[in-house]
Amino acid sequence: MWRSHFLNMLVFALCTSILLALYFKDEPRDQIRFFLKVWVLMVVGALIVAWIMYFLGGSG
């Protein structure tokens, strides 16, 4: 088990986007493109939300 929040987030996004690509697309080429798109969106989206929460979250 990796004790890193960021690494675990990458692994979770990786696994989830693989399975979502298999769900939403049928052709291998489409699946790979969809997987990459979803994985990047998840990671970048999480980082953006994390920074927003960092600035809005107060001192807690």
Partner 1 sequence: MHRVETLSAMGRTARRAGILLLGWLIPGSAHWVLGRRVQALVVFVTVHFMFFYGLFMGSPLHRFDPEAPIRSALEKAAQMGNGLAYWLALWWVPQMETWPDSPLRRLAERSNFGQGDIVHAWAEKGYTFAISSGLLNILLVLKVYDRMFRPRPTPSDPETSSDVA
| Residues 31/25, Cβ–Cβ less than 8 Å | yes
CB 59 → partner 1: shortest distance, Å? 20
Is there binding between residue 19 and partner 1 (CB under 8 A)? yes
Is there binding between residue 23 and partner 1 (CB under 8 A)? yes
Hey, what are 52's tokens? Answer: 């927003």
CB 15 → partner 1: shortest distance, Å? 5
Widest CA span of the chain, in angstroms?
48
Give the HSE-up count for residue 54: Cα atoms under 13 Å, Cβ half-sphere: 6
Residues that bind partner 1 (CB under 8 A): 1, 3, 5, 8, 11-12, 15-16, 18-20, 22-23, 28
